[in-house]
Amino acid sequence: MKPSGEFSLEFFPPKTTAGAEKLRATTKSLSTLNPSFFSVTFGAGGSTQDGTLETVVELQKSGQQAAPHLSCIGSTKENIRQILQTYQQEGIKRIVALRGDMPSGMQEIGEFRYANELVAFIRSETGDHFHIEVAAYPETHPQASSAQIDLTHFKQKVTAGANSAITQYFYNIDSYLYFVEECKKSNISIPIIPGIMPITNYIQLARFSDTCGAEIPRWIRQRLIGYGDDTESLRAFGLDVVTRLCQNLLEQGAPGLHFYTMNRTQPTTEIWNHLGLT
Ligand code: FAD
């Protein structure tokens, strides 16, 4: 039986014409999985922002539900207002609202400091038009002074009007289950969807994980290192580990899964098929 819940896929906007062509092929293939929606990331401070709009518009026109990410650091209210109006005109109904990170060299923080202010602004400007997703961190956001304070800040986003949350990726299921329990104790009742990062390349994953504060457990890290150039074995191991994680999450009541596809078809499709989501 197909597990119930919301199953979504994330892209980043392509930077080149060749990247855009490749993403079209990826979209065509991943659309056959029938995801609840595709989300598209947004670069804080400039470079990829037009790419987000172009990509979501193209997805929406191809009949898919598309959810742009929107980060507010470095932005003005007027700038965000215009982006929201454009999305409304394009028939977009869902937004992933984030603070984002200040790009190096950028000086102006802008008119928003934290994501809860963006959520409140979206609600005050557009009422209930958008379903708003926010980010959650079962292993704690890297800049938070403690897990407890981070949870308080998460709650502020919910109080400001978020409908659901997507987590940073993790490989330790207890961090997610504990986080969800703590949310319940704090009267946070929105769905918290686990973010899933397929494992296909150790160096890339290690670099990424260091930056975003996601932990690669030692037993996984040591095996990935041990595979060295044997990419086939590494991918088979990654598929096994991540599929088991997803299965466990769904068995323990996770309300769906959100896949960081890295604009690639195969890793997500394999996990998806193993889980019987199609
Ligand atoms: P916030 O919720 O504002 O939290 C940021 C930090 O500030 C936390 O440490 C929090 O504890 C603290 N904080 C919050 N409120 C307060 C307060 N009132 N006072 C003091 N401290 C406070 N980045 C992008 O640039 N583009 C993307 O498209 C993108 N997509 C993402 C999607 C997901 C699902 C996730 C999990 C992350 C994504 N990110 C993206 C990364 C994200 O922008 C960074 O993790 C960023 O550092 C925090 O964003 P946030 O929305 O979680 O911030």
What pLDDT, in 10s, does the model give residues 89-98?
Answer: 999 999 999 9
Average pLDDT over residues 68-90: 96
Q: Whose CA is nearest to atom 29 of ligand 1?
A: 41
Rounded Cα gap, residues 272 and 166, in angstroms: 18
Q: Is the pLDDT of residue 45 over 70?
A: no
Rounded Cα gap, residues 274 and 112, in angstroms: 42
C-beta of 69 in contact with ligand 1 (< 6 A): yes
Rounded Cα gap, residues 97 and 125, in angstroms: 14
Question: 150: CA distance to ligand 1 center in Å?
Answer: 10
Per-residue pLDDT band for 3 (boundaries 50, 70, 90) equals confident
Per-residue pLDDT band for 109 (boundaries 50, 70, 90) equals confident
Cα–Cα–Cα angle for 86, 89, 91, rounded to 5 degrees = 115
The answer to whether 96 and 66 have CB atoms below 8 angstroms apart is: no
- pTM for this model (two decimals): 0.97
Indicate the average pLDDT of the chain.
95
Q: Is the pLDDT of residue 106 over 80?
A: no
CB-neighbour burial class of residue 276 (10 A; exposed 0-12, middle 13-18, buried 19+): exposed
- Which ligand 1 atom is the nearest neighbour of the CA of 258? 34
Per-residue pLDDT band for 193 (boundaries 50, 70, 90) equals very high
In angstroms, what CA-CA distances link 52 with 8, 89, 157?
17, 15, 23
Q: Is the pLDDT of residue 103 over 90?
A: no
- Angle in degrees, 0-180, between the axes of helices 202-212 and 218-227, rounded to the nearest 10: 150
Per-residue pLDDT band for 46 (boundaries 50, 70, 90) equals low
- Which ligand 1 atom is the nearest neighbour of the CA of 44? 25
Per-residue pLDDT band for 104 (boundaries 50, 70, 90) equals confident
Task: Report the pLDDT value the prediction gives residue 210, as an integer from 0 to 100.
Answer: 95
Q: Whose CA is nearest to atom 16 of ligand 1?
A: 153
Q: Whose CA is nearest to atom 14 of ligand 1?
A: 153
What pLDDT, in 10s, does the model give residues 217-250?
Answer: 999 999 999 999 999 999 999 999 999 999 999 9
Rounded Cα gap, residues 164 and 167, in angstroms: 10
Q: Which of 114, 134, 159, 257 to mutate to test the pocket of ligand 1 (most atoms within 8 A of CB)?
A: 114
Please give the residue that has the higher pLDDT: either 180 or 277.
Answer: 180
Q: Is the pLDDT of residue 278 over 90?
A: no
Q: Whose CA is nearest to atom 15 of ligand 1?
A: 153
Question: 67: CA distance to ligand 1 center in Å?
Answer: 17
Q: Whose CA is nearest to atom 53 of ligand 1?
A: 99
Q: Is the pLDDT of residue 18 over 80?
A: yes
Q: Is the pLDDT of residue 2 over 80?
A: no
C-beta of 115 in contact with ligand 1 (< 6 A): yes
Q: Which of 139, 141, 188, 259 to mutate to test the pocket of ligand 1 (most atoms within 8 A of CB)?
A: 141
Question: 231: CA distance to ligand 1 center in Å?
Answer: 33
Per-residue pLDDT band for 47 (boundaries 50, 70, 90) equals low
Task: Report the pLDDT value the prediction gives residue 49, as an integer from 0 to 100.
Answer: 81
- Which ligand 1 atom is the nearest neighbour of the CA of 114? 3
Task: Report the pLDDT value the prediction gives residue 129, as an integer from 0 to 100.
Answer: 98
Average pLDDT over residues 161-184: 98
The answer to whether 11 and 58 have CB atoms below 8 angstroms apart is: no
Rounded Cα gap, residues 248 and 241, in angstroms: 11
* Domain boundaries of the chain, sorted by first residue: 6-201+235-275
What pLDDT, in 10s, does the model give residues 204-217?
Answer: 999 999 999 999 99
Rounded Cα gap, residues 27 and 58, in angstroms: 10
Q: Is CATH 3.20.20.220 the classification given to domain 6-201+235-275?
A: yes
Which of 98-102, 137-141, 185-189, 263-267 has the weakest average pLDDT? 98-102
Task: Report the pLDDT value the prediction gives residue 108, as an integer from 0 to 100.
Answer: 80
